[in-house]
Structure formats: C-alpha cells, structure tokens
Amino acid sequence: MIKLAPSILSIDHYYFGEQIEAITKGGADYIHLDVMDGHFAKNFAVGFPVVQSLRKQSSLVLDVHLMVDNPKEFIARFAQAGADIITFHIEACKDADEVYETIGMIKAAGKKVGLALRPNTGLADVLEFVPHVNMVLIMSVMPGFGGQNLIPESLDKARNLREYVDGSGLDLDIQMDGGINFANVHDVLEAGVNVVVVGSAIFGHANIHASTKKFKSIFAEYRKTKTKIVIFANGDGDNLGFLRQIADEADFVICCDGGAGFAAQLEIVPDLIVGDFDSIDAQIKVDFEKGRDICRISERQRCYGFGVGG
C-alpha cells in the first residue's frame, strides 16, 4: 500500500490544529515529524511536546525522523510521547555495533524502526541492517530545510533498494523525503517508494485538504495501472507471515504446480488454480514477465510474485 506522510516541517504553526485536521480529512496516513538538534542538521525543529500534543489529537501514525547526533538519547522520550515509528540516521552512528544497539533500543520501546540515509551516503552502507528494520528512509534532499529540489540520483537509489528488498523476500517500507511534488511523484512511485513524505507541496498549497486529496488520488490511479499478481507453486511454509501479507495485498492470486495446498496453509483462497505454470494464459504470462518487480521469495519454496504492487 502506498502511504502519504505530510511533513509538518512546512506547517503554519498559527493554524496548526486546522492544518492537521485538513490533512487528516484529506486522507493522510502518517504525520512526518522532523527532529533536528542544530548539529546533525543545521536547523531546529519539533520537540517532545509537539509529539505529545499530536498524539492527543490525532490517530494517524506519528512518524518521527531523528536528524540528531545522538539518536539513542532521544528514543525513550519520543517513544513515551507517542511516536509510532522512530527513524534515525546511519551517519549518526560511529559503527555497526551502534547501529544495532539503536535498532534494539527502538524495538525494546515497542516502536517500528526506520533507518535513514543522506543523499551522499551509499546504499551499500545500509544493506547489512535492512533485514532488521521496518523502513528505510532515502533522503532526496540534504537534511535541514524544506523547499529544496529532489536530487534525481535518489530515485536510482530507491530502485536499487526495491530490487534488493523484493529479491530478498523482505517486508520493508521504502520512504522518500525531500522535494516531492505533483510533477515528480509518479517518478518516485515508479522507483519503488511506498511511503511518500510531502511538505511544501501540501502545506504550501492554498487548499491543504485539496492538495492532500490530490496526492491520494494520484496514488490510487497509479495502483490501478499496476496490477499485483502472486503465483504460488510448491512450497514448504517458510516466511508464512510475509507470504500471507503479499497475497492479501495482491489483486490476483494464482496457484499452480501443487501450490493450492500451500495456499491453504496460508488460509488464502486463490482466484485461479492451474496444473502448472505453463498452463497460464500465454499473454498473461508475458504481462507478468514485463512487470517491473519480480519477487522471488526463495528457490527452495518456488513461490513467485510477478507484476507491480504498491
């Protein structure tokens, strides 16, 4: 599912309550909150009281992005304040041990874990940690200030990460933050991003409710053009939770080559059962194979998902 996360870095604090209500009624999924200490990012933004206040008035997911030098010092208080997701920067940790320690602290607080990287940080630097987090945040501008232009190379980074995630059978959100607007959001979605952070293009708009709804409409239209089809073949039952999730999110489920029994394990009712993969209509098969994403869960399970999904 594609999620919209308006960033309150761009909110007008004089109309704070009204603008939160506008994005909520417009269909926002998250509220993205940038926390800055003036060191890691050369700006100051959002403290514990803002999160506490939002938690009292909003049921939306509170997505806290720590742009700070010492993220471990902030985790407990933001968790207590009501954050649902706490994201920290890999660049703020001195080594891999500290990254794992920070991940562990966030999980111990009962929160989802996000790992962020600046535009000048290579994707290879985070791949080791990807299986241990819920979300990776790709910054498409340098942290600190709203209104910057999206750095095009960030889209390649997202594509490569999506390929890695799907190829590894991981259940992971990919978030992008910085310079996203109506003109480029389709490119962001095509790159495999499924959590879209938008600041100025929502809060800088004369009608915040309408701009929020417009982004959600774009997401819905995008999903209509990208049918997600999952094919179950013989399997041994590994990764049941993940496989059930991708089947639940699929538009069409096909079982072949003994996969019906495997689907039963997952409590999934397939839309189509065929004797083997070659029995699937040739044109449909071609459409599968032209899909941007091919999700191979594992060779041993022989469970495949072809097509594109948000």
Full DSSP string of 55-73: HHH--SEEEEEEESS-THH
Q: Is 114 left (phi over 0), alpha (psi -120 to 50) or beta?
A: beta
What's the sign of the alpha-carbon dihedral 34, 24, 184, 229?
Answer: positive
| CA-wise closest residue to 301 among 234, 256, 230 | 234
Q: What pLDDT, on the 0 to 100 scale, is given for residue 233?
A: 64
Q: How far apart are CA 79 and CA 160, in angstroms?
A: 31
Structural tokens at position 106: 């966030």
- The per-residue pLDDT for 15 is 93
65 DSSP β-pair partners: 34, 87
Q: Rounded to an integer, what distance in angstroms lies between the CA atom of residue 142 and that of residue 19?
A: 26
pLDDT value for 284:
52
In tens, the pLDDT along 219-252 reads: 988 877 765 666 666 554 556 666 677 677 676 6
Positions of the chain with pLDDT lower than 70, given as ranges: 39, 41-46, 144-147, 226-243, 246, 249, 251-252, 257-260, 262, 275-310
Question: Residues 16-42: pLDDT tens digits?
Answer: 999 999 999 999 999 999 998 776 766
Candidate list 29, 34, 63, 173, residue with the active-site label: 34
What residues form DSSP beta bridges with 300? none
Output the pLDDT for position 215.
Answer: 97
Task: Say which DSSP state 260 is in.
Answer: H
Q: Which of 29, 166, 173, 177 is catalytic?
A: 177
List of domains in the chain: 3-224 (3.20.20.70), 228-307 (no CATH)
Residue 10 confidence (pLDDT): 86
pLDDT at 254: 73
pLDDT at position 182: 96
CA 169 – CA 227 distance, rounded (Å): 19
Q: What share of the chain is helix, strand, coil (3-state, %, to 5)?
A: 45, 20, 35
34 noted as active-site residue: yes
Distance, first Cα to last Cα, the chain? 5
E strand segments, the chain: 3-6, 30-37, 44-45, 61-67, 85-89, 112-117, 135-139, 173-177, 195-198, 228-232, 252-256, 272-274, 293-296, 303-307
Backbone phi, then psi, for 130, in 5-degree steps? Answer: -55, -40
Cα(193)–Cα(114) distance, integer angstroms: 14
**CA 79 to chain centroid:** 20
Tokens matching residue 256: 């072949």
Active site residue 37: no
Which residues make Cβ contacts (< 8 Å) with residue 152, sequence separation at least 6? none
